[in-house]
Amino acid sequence: MKLPVYFDYHSTTPVDPRVLETMLPFFTEAFGNAASALHPFGWHAAKAVETSRRQIAAMIGAQEKEIFFTSGTTESANLAINGAKDIYGEEKDHIITQITEHKAVLNSCRALEEKGMRVTYLKVDERGRISLKELEEALTDKTLMVSIMHANNEIGTVHPIEQIGRLTRAKGILFHVDAAQTAGKLPLNVEKMNIDLLSFSAHKMYGPKGIGAIYIRSQNPRVRINPQILGGGHEEGIRSGTLNVPAIVGFGKACDIAVQEMKSEGERIRGLRDRMQAAFCSRLDHVYVQGDPERRLPNNLSVSFAYVEAEPLLMTINSEVAVSSGSACTSGKTQISHVLRALGLKPELLTAAIRFGLGRFNTEEEVDYAVEKIVAAVQKLRCLSPFYPGKSS
């Protein structure tokens, strides 16, 4: 077992060795520019890009021509929101999103508010769920877009995308979905879910960093997006710039593997997550699990050990276990994540939240090791805490 053991798969994942292997030739002998139409170097690169586009489209039930390469979910979400506003914003000046979205979506919406758009930020309940009724009531004939993430990257709550898609489709409103945490992990089908725009990244699903895609619906209805990066007209003019062929090849392979292995891998990882959660709950008291127990990412465990601050806890064990907290300590002041804040947790739990993200390369041995280390560290810190009431553990 290699230390520290990695439980931060929501933040990024290692490249799968099978993915790396398919990428390598495209750095060296097959280095061509996919836009070079007059020689075999270019043709070879272009062919590899189209193979990858097919693999990516297949994973989400889309057509190849509906997939456009970007640098990742941040860029795709910016492109979806700003690109749609540029085209349709004159007639429709209202966007609906929700408060636990990633900053890629929230800050894109904030910036459009400065330009006169109206934005509704739906609130969530203590499990991180929006109310479909509130969403439906917020829809008007001025609503341009609904942007809701498939699953939350901190607490793992999975939003009812198919039901939302039915509402937006019935009213002819665009539906954008941030699928950074679910692409390659949960089934996604843009037809069944009535998704018009979908954003995702390779590096959250065992592909390389800095490559991602946006799906743009081409029919029923055809969705138009104004490009935000202008240049040589790559990607049908939607996103100019020389294609990162090795990364694109890796992204395609990562999707191919995900399609094959999603089901068995999801079950295995869910088992590991449940084992970890059960161990914490049986060995410690005052343990609180965030998110929706009924609709949660199989690889997510957001947990608070009351009376123990997450940051000092993680700092004491970070050479053994690598995980994230739900707050970031900047210049001595603890910044609590907007997601945890939205849940309305008790103050003592807000700074205690720890986020485990499990993944493909985790083993049962690693889970048991992390549990040992964390239980011991929590017990030690609680002994020192003047606030900790129970000494039963």
Give the binding site for ligand PLP (CB under 6 A): 72-74, 102, 104, 149, 153, 178, 180-181, 201, 203-204, 212
Give 266's contacts (C-beta < 8 A, 6+ positions apart).
185, 186, 298, 299
Give 375's contacts (C-beta < 8 A, 6+ positions apart).
279, 280, 283, 284
Tell the smallest beta-carbon distance from residue 84 to ligand PLP (Å): 18
Crossing angle of helices 73-88 and 103-114, in 10° steps, is 30
Nearer to ligand PLP, 79 or 306 (CB): 79
Nearer to ligand PLP, 53 or 150 (CB): 150
Nearer to ligand PLP, 201 or 290 (CB): 201
Give 213's contacts (C-beta < 8 A, 6+ positions apart).
56, 67, 68, 69, 70, 76, 199, 200, 251
Give 319's contacts (C-beta < 8 A, 6+ positions apart).
3, 4
Nearer to ligand PLP, 102 or 286 (CB): 102
Phi, psi of 343 (to 5 degrees): -80, -15
Residue 272 Cα to chain centre, angstroms: 20
Tell the smallest beta-carbon distance from residue 251 to ligand PLP (Å): 11
108 closest CA partner among 91, 130, 85, 87:
85
Q: What positions carry a catalytic annotation?
A: 329
Tell the smallest beta-carbon distance from residue 247 to ligand PLP (Å): 12
Rounded Cα–Cα distance for residues 135 and 301 (Å): 27
Nearer to ligand PLP, 55 or 74 (CB): 74
337, 186, 133, 146 alpha-carbon torsion, rounded to 10°: 70
Rounded Cα–Cα distance for residues 232 and 37 (Å): 14
Tell the smallest beta-carbon distance from residue 368 to ligand PLP (Å): 27
Rounded Cα–Cα distance for residues 179 and 193 (Å): 12
Structure tokens at 369: 């090791």
Rounded Cα–Cα distance for residues 230 and 283 (Å): 57
Tell the smallest beta-carbon distance from residue 74 to ligand PLP (Å): 3
Nearer to ligand PLP, 73 or 299 (CB): 73
Tell the smallest beta-carbon distance from residue 97 to ligand PLP (Å): 12
